[in-house]
Amino acid sequence: MNGAESLARTLVAAGIDTVFANPGTSEMHFVAALDRVPGLRCVLGLAETVVTGCADGYGRVAGKPAATLLHCGPGLANGISNLHNARRAFTPIVNVVGDHATWHRPHDPPLAADTEALARTVSRWVRTAMDAASVGTRAVEAVQASLAPPGGIATLVLPADCAWDEGAQPAKPLAPPARGRVAPQAIESVARTLALREPTVLMLSGAALGEAGLHHAHRIAHATGARLFGPTQLPYIARGRGRPPVDRVPYVVDAALEALAGTRHLVLAGAKAPVAFFGYPGKPSEMWPKDCEVLELARVEEDVVAALEALADAVGAPRDPPLGSQPLSQPATGAFRPDAFAQTFATLIPENAIVAEDAVTSGRGLFPPTWGAAPHHWMQVTGGSIGYALPSATGAAVAAPSRKVICLQADGGAMYSLQSLWTQAREKLDVVNVIFANRRYAILQGELAAVGATPGPASNELFDLSRPDLDWVKLAGGMGVEAARVDSLERFADVFRAACARRGPFVIEFAI
C-alpha cells in the first residue's frame, strides 16, 4: 500500500467521511487513492477559500472534522483567511496539503514555498510526512490534534513521494480526547461571587453556546440575576423558541462599554474577556469596566457545560426555570432598514435551520429578534475574514443535508468567495443565499467617518462597489444557481419563503 492510500484509509477509520478539495498535481496519488478507498465524499471548491470555508462550516455543524485537500504553499495560502475564521471558532479541521517530493523540493521549483510557515499561522499542529511508512501515524495524530478540546486545525503536509511510495499502512484510530473537568474549587469560588448579588455578566462561548450550556447558564441567570452574553462573533449558537436568551457584546466600542457598564464581575465560561475588534484613538481595548473583576469558570477546552451545570446547582438554581415570553416579531414592509429586516427575517427562519452570517453593516441588529424565531442555529465570521458565510453555509449543508441552511452575506464579502455558489449547484445543496447589495464597503465609510475624515477621491474609489453595479442574478446564473433580485421587505419575504419551500440552492440579491 502506498502512503496516499494509508492516509485515506486512516482518515476513514478515524471517522472522517468528507473531503473538501482543490487538488493539484502533487496530490494525484491521493486522488487516485480516494478513487480506491470507499467512504470519503469528495466535494470540489473552485478556489481554496471555498474549500477551507466549507470545512469550517462543516466542522461547526458536524462537531467533527472534515479533511481538506490543498495544493502546495500557494494553494494553502488561498485558504488561510477562512482557516483563520475556523481557528477563532475552534473548528476541528484536518488540513491535508500536498507538496513537492522530498527529493525534488531542494531544487526550488517554481511552486515551492514555505508551506509549514504558512500552515503555522492558523494551525495548532503542523507536521510534514517524511516517508510513506509514517503517513498513517501522522494522519491519526492529525485527527487527534484536530479533536483535542476545544478543537482546532491540524495541518499535515504530504510530499508527493510520501504519497506514492509503497510500504505504508493505515494507523488505528484513537479514542477522542476528553475535555478536562473544572475543579470544584473553581466552581465554588464563582458561586461565592454570584452570591454577592452584585452586577455580574456570564460570558459564554464554545460549547457553552449549545443547548445544554445555554440551559444551565439560564438557570444561573435566573437564580442570581447575572446577565448572559456571547461574543460579538458567535461560533455556533442554539437560538430561537425554547432556547434561553443571551445577548451579544456589541461590535461598536462605545455600545459595548455601555452594555457592560456597571458590571462588577465578569465570569468567563468558555469565552475570552471581550476586547474591541479594532483599536481606536482614545478608546480602550478592553470592553469591561476598569473596576470589574474577571473570573474564569471554565476555559474553552474544559468541560464548560458540566461546569455550568455544577455552578447552577451550587447557586441553588431550579432545574427548569421559565424562559419568559419569546414574542415572534412582525414582518415589516418597504425598503431595507437593518432593524426592519431583522424583524422580518426572524419571522421567516425555518424550523431547525442553520444560519451562516457575514452580513457586516447590514447584519447589525439581526440578533435580538431571533430569540422568538423558530429554533435554529446561528454561526458567524469569528475571525473577521470576510467572505465567510457563502462557503461556510455550503459546508454546513454538506454536514446537515436534512436541514435548511440560510446564508446572510454582505456583497463586499460575497465577492471574496462567490465561487461557493458553484459548489452549491454541483452538490444540489439546500442553501438560500441572501446577498445584501448595498454596493459599497459601508463599514469602511463608517470607519472613515469615525476617524474624523471627510471622504475624498481615494476613499470614493476604494469604498464604492458601484460603477459598475454587481449583478448577482447574472453571477449566480453563471454558476448554475437560480436567483432573484428584490428591493422591498415584502418582496423579500415572498421570494425567501418560496426559496425555502423548494430544495437546492437559491440566491436572493437584496438591493438596499
268 with 204: CB under 8 angstroms? no
| Torsion on CA atoms 207, 212, 217, 223, rounded to nearest 10 | -160
CB of 127 or CB of 376, closer to its own copies: 127
Residues numbered 63-102 forming contacts with its own copies, rule: CB under 8 A? 72-75, 77-78, 80-81, 84, 88, 100-101
Residues numbered 27-66 forming contacts with its own copies, rule: CB under 8 A? 28-29, 31-32, 34-36, 40, 42-44, 46-47, 49
Binding of its own copies at residue 401 (CB under 8 A)? Answer: no
- The conformational region for residue 406 under phi > 0 = left, psi -120 to 50 = alpha, else beta, is beta
Closest CA to 159 of 28, 32, 51: 28
480 with 489: CB under 8 angstroms? no
Q: State in angstroms the smallest separation of the CB of 426 from its own copies.
A: 6
- Which residue in 1, 12, 13, 113 binds its own copies (CB under 8 A)? 113
Rounded Cα gap, residues 412 and 417, in angstroms: 10
- Which residue in 189, 347, 459, 488 binds its own copies (CB under 8 A)? 459
DSSP class of 246: -
What is each CA distance from 431 to 129, 161, 350, 469, in whole angstroms?
Answer: 37, 39, 12, 24
Establish how many alpha carbons lie within 13 A of residue 422's alpha carbon, considering only the half-sphere containing its beta carbon: 13
Binding of its own copies at residue 426 (CB under 8 A)? Answer: yes
Antiparallel, parallel or unpaired: β 376-380 and 153-159? unpaired
Q: State in angstroms the smallest separation of the CB of 223 from its own copies.
A: 32
- Which residue in 145, 208, 276, 353 binds its own copies (CB under 8 A)? 276
CB of 336 or CB of 388, closer to its own copies: 388
Give 446-487 as a DSSP string. Answer: HHHHHTTPPP-HHHHHHHB--SSPP-HHHHHHHTT-EEEEE-
Binding of its own copies at residue 500 (CB under 8 A)? Answer: no
The grid coordinates of residue 393 equal 453555509
Binding of its own copies at residue 479 (CB under 8 A)? Answer: yes
Q: State in angstroms the smallest separation of the CB of 275 from its own copies.
A: 4
Sole window of 210-218, 271-279, 325-333, 367-375 interacting with its own copies (rule: CB under 8 A): 271-279
- Which residue in 197, 474, 502, 503 binds its own copies (CB under 8 A)? 474
**Side chain identity, residue 20:** F
Binding of its own copies at residue 290 (CB under 8 A)? Answer: no
Residues numbered 370-389 forming contacts with its own copies, rule: CB under 8 A? 382-385, 387
- Which residue in 7, 66, 126, 160 binds its own copies (CB under 8 A)? 160
- Which residue in 130, 275, 295, 511 binds its own copies (CB under 8 A)? 275
Residues numbered 291-320 forming contacts with its own copies, rule: CB under 8 A? none
CB of 163 or CB of 187, closer to its own copies: 163
